[in-house]
Structure 1
Amino acid sequence: MTLRTTTRALAATAATVLTLAGATACATDGGGGGVDPDRIDVVAGFYPLQFLAERVGGDAVAVTNLARPGAEPHDLELNPRQIGQIIEAELVVFLHGFQPAVDEAIEQNAGDRAFDVAGVEPLLDATAGGHDHDHDHGDGDGDGDGDGDHADEEHAEEGTDGAKDPHVWLDPTRLATIGDKLAERLGAVDPDRAGDYTTRAAALRTELAQLDTEFTEGLKTCQRREIVVSHTAFGYLAQKYQLEQIGITGLSPENEPSPQRLASVIEEAREHGATTIFFETLVSPKVAETIAREVGAETAVLDPLEGLSAENGGDYLSVMRTNLQALRTALSCS
């Protein structure tokens, strides 16, 4: 019996009690199946990491996504079966700080089998990509440092001051770098197929570079640069493609905006002639619809890709291209 097989057997035994305890709860859960001795068992915290693991790993990996389609991954609570999946996994791909329950389970059960994508690409501050209210006169705070203090104040009011923005996957070039590092990590787990992981990561990088080119060209000439979004998930996209996001709420989509914040967003939307107020597939559109009515704008989906809904299908690349078309329409790009 090989060391790898022995490790699997011990992990499976350790997970048995948890799995049995959660059998009823898991009957409707869409988790992965049994252990495949020919493939590397990878657990991903949420959809973009699942996409990355599947594309880099190919047929050599079996990927389980902890977040169900159509469910908001921020507030994921793990059941016993999912804890067992983390215990059994040979690699757990997660983003520290994005899913607290996953962070805790990994700390207790995954050890050096965890791959934190936040350690690959430095995360932006939560206020990055925010709107500069007084953009015709420096940064609007009178100190001339261009740091956008107005935007900082808004986010501080919502409790995100000093926080980091986890939505790193919305910059395709950053996602490509994470893919390269994931290939290295998979190669360390499975040296016999290390070259295959590197090859697939390189192919994915080419596809993501093409997507980046499409965004750069598609958003080069637009009548507006400001996007009004339901929550400030788009800092990486805004920074990469010279846009400015005006968030109805901060990083957490569950937060309710204050009346003052709503009034401020309505004022800014009118100031910049916004024709579209964006909402998300996994979050109620009601607030966005209210603002749209106030300013005479339409609503449209801008998907942060935290999780694919069960209805929309597609994958990271196709949904990002749908986002690009939505942005081009909203910003009147030529």
Structure 2
Amino acid sequence: MFNLGEKEKKNSFPVKFRKIIQENVKLGSFTSFKIGGNADIYITPSSPDELSAALAFIREERIPAILLGGGTNLLIPDEGIRGAVIHTDRLNKIRLLNTGKEPLVQAEAGTLMKDLTEFCAEYGLAGLEDFAGLPGTVGGAVFMNARCYEKSISDVLISVSALYFSGKECTLQKYDCNKGDWGYKQSPFQPSDKRYAVINGNRPIIVSATFRVEQGDAILIRKIMENRIADRTAKGHFKLPSAGSAFKNNHAFGKPSGQLIDEAGLRGLQIGGAQVAPWHGNFIVNTGSATAQEVVELIEIIRKRVKDTTGFELEPEIIFAG
């Protein structure tokens, strides 16, 4: 267990930033699953400078760490995180950029997608309304190349500002969106080892993203947003704590993952407090007392049963932390 009370660790973090560090913080409430133990060290930067300082701190002290955004597709272990958690929720500024040409909207990584779409609606800006009701943050949506109603984040993304490590130096660099770098729920910010929550190596950390928008009909924009939110609600996205879609869809399967799970007779299957949602095969829900271990066991049963009945290997969309 890492303890900031150790003098050498406490003194290694810049004095003006020590206010953003806490110890032994429970993480479950920061995730949509409402599951998970405590973090030894919990850091909440509120600016790119503080984020850079936090990253430099954990790197210098060789402290293992994970990144936490909206926590909407993240499963925290029951035993918590041995090391540090950097939570981006205070990096939530939104700006309308006046380029003299097309309007652009820039949002920091910890901005909730619902706040970004609401901002656009308020200013009558079209382009992001299909993402209304999408849980999570801008950073998470960019990282996973979130897709809603046949539109991907990469379709409206102009550029990303991210922190990159080179040796001991951490610098803020701009990435201009190149369509060839993106795919179905794939982005150039995902590490090849698929340990998506872990901060390690030279992995870039998203600080903000800039999106292409255009002036539109504010009433129509609001109507589309309301329809998207109503559709998610009708499908049961918000009935019980969950991480949304538990498995990625794969066009090669010929059917959505939820349908394959239904046809395998798994809808409603329950282990402890973790259950395949009775109303949707691709949701795993916390009925009130689920543990991370129960969710993991349920995922493995689903994957095995679908593989046995169809030959298809489902790929989890849930990110396993720690």
The reply to whether TM is greater than 0.5 is no
The structure in which a higher percent of residues are strand is 2
Q: TM-score, normalised by structure 1?
A: 0.30
Q: TM-score, normalised by structure 2?
A: 0.30
The structure in which a higher percent of residues are helix is 1
Q: Please identify the structure whose Cα radius of gyration is greater.
A: 1
